[in-house]
Amino acid sequence: MSVVLLLLASSTDKTLADYCGLFFADTDAKGIVSYSVSIQNSETKSNLVTCNTNELSENAPLTDLSVSARPKLKQAYLNWEAVSLQKDYGAYWVEQSTDSIHFSKVNQYPYLFLKSADEPNKIYCDFADTSVQEGTVIYYRVSGINYFGETGKSSNTVKIYIPKSIYGEIHIDSVAVIGSERKIIGEFVSHRTKNDISKFVLLRSDSLAFGYRSVAESSVNSFDFSLSSDAGITSGDRYYYKVAAVGTDGDTVYSFPYYFFTLDQIPPAIPQDLKGTINDSGIVSISWKLNIENDIRGYRIFRSNSLKEEFVEVTREFAQNGFFSDTLSLRNLTPEVYYRISAVDLNYNNSKLSAPVLILKPDTIPPVPAVIFDYLITSAGLEIKWNNSTSADLKESKLIRSDNSKTDTLIVWKNELLSFTDTTCVNGKSYNYSILTSDVSDNNTSSELIRINYETGIRSGISELNGVTDRESKKIILTWKLPAEPVYSVQIYRALNDGEFALYKTLRESGTESFADTGVAMNNQYLYKVKIVYRSGVSSLFSKTITVVY
């Protein structure tokens, strides 16, 4: 090939490209070559273009053409893979035929395989032929145009039938009732002089939006129709109806839904096999056998605490599926509850109430609490007095004592005990007392908490009081052991020989357990005893008396 034409514009018109300065002739090209174009004095460069300069017969074949009909858009849609053919073909002719032999071009100008920034990975060519006619058979093929403007090989030939569409509307005029038969009457209003309709189909559903199924169909003698279906009952049916006109080529047009019902005044049967259970949380589970009528809307549940009282409805919405859950308060004195149920059909006819079912509530009510009404503090301990619970189903009662460190159960009894003396109390310490009462269902209740400060006004004094003589230092040294309770002061009493005891020294240093008496003289007998004043303000008993000879 002596000359290769490389067109750098989207047009395949050589003359136009030459006029635009977008034409270049390469007389030395052989085989498969690639080109790119840049602007002088600029770094802008085009994408690489590859083309086959060999004989046309060596170009790749086109064999993957596919086609589909879009009758509502009056189109035949063609599609073929083009990426692998870019080096052989720069454009394409789309051709059609009515006999698969004589083809004519559909496009006036060559069809180019172009990519945009929005589809950089585009693979296929897409072409829509808008010249098609419904009800016709058309053959298509695609022929490639190489980079020299020569028409090359053609693709496989594909055949397509453009189906006929229906243009018009369907109107349901009325529904006639003959026993259980429902006759739907209406017409098809055509928007064209001719519409090929093969049949009318009647569809029915319980719902406006979905669930339609075919119940009858008829052939077409005219654009008027009369279709019948069996409702299964003479009255009380409620359905949505639609009519479809089906074309000879499968196209379908539907009417708007038409709602029709007949008034039902016959109530449903009384629900049977009503059962109920309740758990410890007060959740009631009610179940029953579903009615066999096919027009049941739901069920209403009624409740009463006694058969002598009126039953009150507890359902806000109709119960379904043979099950209902209710919640009761168990903290009351009514151990029984009764339920009854009524069925409701689609026309809101209510059945008679079912036989009542009895449900016994679990005992979750705690017993009446005991009452601590008095206490007495003695040197022997703390006496607590109370009145026992008056509940009939008592199991046991416990006297509970707690302080800041622990909780103890002092005594357990049923109902005969009325007082108890706590002999383990410590002077100056506060205690909380309460009575925990349980019934046979293990419900518990506690009396009001009473807080008591155990104080007799008497404390034990110091222990291990000793005295020794230090003649070298001219003093008597006293030592003792303090109790654990916080001490405010230690008071030392002294008597000389046969004299009376008198307060000799008060020590206020915290934790002091010794004292040096320097006010002593030779050849005397000294007697000592010690008393403690606690921070609570209570004084202890005197310690034992000791005698020291100096």
State pLDDT tens for residues 220-273. Answer: 988 999 999 999 888 878 899 999 999 999 999 999 999 998 887 789 999 999
Query: Are 380 and 440 contained in the same domain?
Result: yes
Q: In the listed set 393, 424, 454, which residue is the last one of a domain according to the structure?
A: 454
In a domain, 266, yes or no: no
Average pLDDT of span 131-135? 89
Residue 267 resides in a domain: no
Q: What's the confidence (pLDDT) of residue 328?
A: 85
Residues 158 and 70 in one domain: yes
Residue 280 lies in a domain: yes
Range of lowest pLDDT (19-33, 100-114, 215-229, 461-475) = 19-33
* Whole-angstrom distance, CA of residue 296 vs CA of residue 179: 21
User: Considering only 2-11, 201-210, 218-227, 375-384, which range has the smallest mean pLDDT?
Assistant: 2-11
Nearest to 480 by CA among 450, 504, 512: 512
Report how far Cα 262 is from the mean position of its chain's Cα atoms.
42
Q: Are residues 402 and 444 in the same domain?
A: yes
* 250 and 192 co-located in one domain: yes
Q: What is the mean pLDDT of the chain?
A: 87
**Domain span at 473:** 463-549
110 and 78 housed in the same domain: yes
Asked whether residue 382 falls in the same domain as residue 431, the answer is: yes
Residue 74 has pLDDT above 80, yes or no: yes
Same domain flag for 62 and 152: yes
Q: Which of 140, 162, 184 is the last residue of a domain?
A: 162
Residue 525 lies in a domain: yes
Q: What is the CATH number of the domain that holds 230?
A: 2.60.40.10
Is 366 a member of any domain?
A: no
Q: Helix, strand, coil shares of the chain as percentages rounded to 5?
A: 5, 50, 45
Q: What is the pTM of this model?
A: 0.42
Residue 365 belongs to a domain = no
**Integer angstrom CA distances of residue 473 from 469, 477, 505, 513, 528:** 9, 10, 19, 20, 19
Q: Does a structural domain hold residue 509? A: yes
Query: If you write DSSP's letter for every residue of 6-67 in order, what string do you get?
Result: EE-SS---HHHHHHTT-EEEETT--SEEEE--B-TTS--BPPPEEEE-S-GGGSPP----EE
177 and 244 in one domain? yes
Q: Name which of 62-71, 97-106, 128-137, 432-441 the model is least confident about.
A: 62-71
Task: Check: CB of residue 459 under 8 Å from CB of residue 483.
Answer: yes
Number of domains in the chain: 6
User: 294 vs 452, which has greater pLDDT?
Assistant: 452
pLDDT at 516 over 80: yes
Residue 482 resides in a domain: yes
Q: Which residues pair with 4 in a beta bridge?
A: 26
| 172 and 250 co-located in one domain | yes
CB atoms within 10 A of CB 351: 20
Eight-class DSSP state of 172: E
Same-domain status, 252 and 276: no
Rounded CA gap, 327 and 286, in Å? Answer: 11
pLDDT at 6: 42
Instruction: Check residue 364 and give its pLDDT.
Output: 75
Buried-state track 276-285, b at ≥16 Cβ within 10 A, e below 16: bebeeeeebe
439 shares its domain with 512: no
Tens of pLDDT, residue by residue over 141-183, are 999 888 777 888 888 999 999 999 899 999 999 999 998 999 9
Q: Which band of pLDDT confidence, cut at 50, 70 and 90, is reported for residue 50?
A: low
Instruction: Among 205, 236, 261, give the residue marking a domain's end.
Output: 261
Judge if 354 and 389 occupy the same domain. no
